[in-house]
Amino acid sequence: MKKTKSQIDFSNIENNRITIYVRKSPLFIRIILMIVLFVFIAGPILGLVSMIIERAELKIGIFISFALFWGLGYYVFRILTWNSFGKEHFSFTDKVSYFSDFKYFKDSFKEIDKNNLSFDFEEIGYKEDNEGVLIIKGENEFLKSSIKVKIPELEESIERLKNYA
């Protein structure tokens, strides 16, 4: 039986940090996303070039299409980078800090107080998938991971975090 790589990385625990990695989506899906991204980026440019060749009058619609297509392209780029390079970082200093890392940009910065920390998980998806997300609770607030991890790995990680914190 093939052993899968752990999604939760404790190698930076000495620096008060753990990382949860996204399982990469299949190559076929990532290629489809790249094609869609290329269409969203190149579409308005090709439309503008064809308008210039035909000597058509430039109207506001071309600029609206640029904004719409490039906005959708940005969204597809975020999906592509998350499914290829996504990870979440949790730092344990005087506060517990969290952020999502898409490789080319970071998002979802959150912090909670480190008082009365507890660790738990929430089952997500179908029962047979046996997956859940990590939840770190403070006194009045909580941090919830968005990356699904197998429940046995979550349970093992929660025990390590309880011993650490």
Any idea where the domains of the chain sit in the sequence? 8-21+89-164, 27-82
Is the pLDDT at 3 greater than 60, yes or no? no
Identify residue 106 by its one-letter amino acid code: K
Output the six-digit token pair for 136: 């770190």
Instruction: Say whether 16 sits in a helix, a strand or coil.
Output: coil
Cα torsion 55, 57, 61, 66: sign: positive
What's the pTM?
0.83
Q: What is the pLDDT of residues 119-160, one digit of tens each?
A: 999 999 888 889 999 999 988 899 999 999 999 999 999 988
| 69 backbone dihedrals φ, ψ, rounded to 5° | -65, -40
Distance separating alpha carbons of residues 123 and 128, to the nearest angstrom: 11
Is the pLDDT at 4 greater than 70, yes or no? no
Distance separating alpha carbons of residues 119 and 164, to the nearest angstrom: 11
Identify residue 89 by its one-letter amino acid code: H
* Of 6, 20, 18, residue with least CA distance to 147: 20
